[in-house]
Amino acid sequence: MKSKTADRIATGVFVAIAIIIVSILVGLFSYILVNGFKYISWDFLTTPSSNIRAGGGIRDQLFNSFYILLLTMIIAVPLGVGGGIYMAEYAKPGKLTDTIRSCIEVLASLPSIVIGMFGLLVFVNVTGWGYTILGGALALTVFNLPVIVRVSEDSIRTVPRDLKEASLALGITHWHTIKTVLLPSAFPSILTGIILAAGRVFGEAAALLFTAGLSTPRLDYANWNPFSEQSPLNIFRPAETLAVHIWSVNTQGLIPDVEAVSNGSAAVLVISVLLFNLLARWIGSIITKKITATK
């Protein structure tokens, strides 16, 4: 009888743990959204931020976040997918492959602040660029690369062997098979992985503090010349992203409406990450349905 009671108590404890975790999530999300929604308005999203006065918005920070994300992805996706192809198709078991695998593992486990320091050393000081968008994007590439490599390798490995062998049997070369058979079949899961990684990049702040900086020059959105100082497209200007903005208004605290700005920004940030998440699921399921012809 005693062991049955113990079993019941244990089951209760496990259920309680599950309830605790679900309620943590629900609590966090409802707090962020309820508190944030009242500050999100068209005005908030389209006015530039202010360093001292109240009533600043997050226009530039929002733009910077997306711009850095885009640049990071342009650099990291080809590199990461290439690395994934190498690991899945070309790497032979041996010392070299083990070394590369350890390198990926090390890169993946580095704290983002350490990557930020590396960025500060190399992309800010050694190159002499100062705080730039490009430096931030390169640091985030280092941060993001292992994720994309792992996702691409796994997706390419899960493509059925028959497909690859049929293609090779037709006399098609290895590289051509990769390009025309393996990559298209692995594409849905690679895409899902990339979108999820994008969500992580979007919320990253520690790696950007010392690489993209804590300030944004005055931007002129009518200026599309990427070499002009005031152009938002200039990749050699400092740029504060949304996540960094939340941190800096809270720690430096010069503006009187810190609460409002950071509540609003946090909500925008979480909603964006949520959208990335939903988008990844949605696209993943649509493409899988179309490819495998199941409902």
**Near another protein by CB under 8 A, which window of 40-48, 53-61, 117-125, 226-234?**
117-125
Backbone dihedral region of 171: left (phi > 0), alpha (psi from -120 to 50 degrees) or beta? left
Query: Cβ-count burial of 168 within 10 angstroms (0-12 exposed, 13-18 middle, 19+ buried)?
Result: middle
> Which of the residues 216 through 235 are near another protein (CB under 8 A)?
none
Tokens of 181: 């058979």
111 belongs to the binding site for another protein (CB under 8 A): yes
271 belongs to the binding site for another protein (CB under 8 A): no
d(CA 83, CA 156) in angstroms, rounded, equals: 11
Cα separations (Å) of 217 from 38, 60, 146, 212? 28, 9, 32, 12
Q: How far is the CB of 81 from another protein (least distance, A)?
A: 8
257 belongs to the binding site for another protein (CB under 8 A): no
238 belongs to the binding site for another protein (CB under 8 A): no
Q: Which residues are within 8 A (CB) of 170 and not within 5 positions of it... i.e. 6 or more apart?
A: none
Q: Which of 62, 71, 115, 186 binds another protein (CB under 8 A)?
A: 115
174 belongs to the binding site for another protein (CB under 8 A): yes
256 belongs to the binding site for another protein (CB under 8 A): no
Q: Which of 183, 197, 235, 255 binds another protein (CB under 8 A)?
A: 183
Q: How far is the CB of 44 from another protein (least distance, A)?
A: 16
SS3 at position 29 = helix
Q: How many residues bind another protein (CB under 8 A)?
A: 99
Q: How far is the CB of 193 from another protein (least distance, A)?
A: 13
140 belongs to the binding site for another protein (CB under 8 A): no
Q: Which of 34, 54, 70, 121 binds another protein (CB under 8 A)?
A: 121
d(CA 32, CA 292) in angstroms, rounded, equals: 39
CA 290 to chain centroid: 27
Q: Which of 147, 182, 206, 255 binds another protein (CB under 8 A)?
A: 206
Contact track, another protein, 7-46, x by CB under 8 A: x-xxx-xxx-xx-xxx-xx--xx-xx--------------
67 belongs to the binding site for another protein (CB under 8 A): no
**Near another protein by CB under 8 A, which window of 44-52, 222-230, 231-239, 271-279?**
271-279
- CB atoms under 10 Å from CB of 291, counted, come to 12
- CB atoms under 10 Å from CB of 130, counted, come to 13
Q: Which of 92, 162, 227, 251 binds another protein (CB under 8 A)?
A: 251
How far is the first Cα of the chain from the last one, in angstroms, to the nearest whole number? Answer: 48
117 belongs to the binding site for another protein (CB under 8 A): yes
Q: Which of 86, 217, 230, 236 binds another protein (CB under 8 A)?
A: 86
63 belongs to the binding site for another protein (CB under 8 A): no
Q: Contacts for 250-256 with beta carbons within 8 Å, 24 or more apart?
A: 254/51, 254/52, 255/50, 255/51, 255/52, 255/53, 255/54, 255/56, 256/53, 256/54
200 belongs to the binding site for another protein (CB under 8 A): yes
170 belongs to the binding site for another protein (CB under 8 A): no
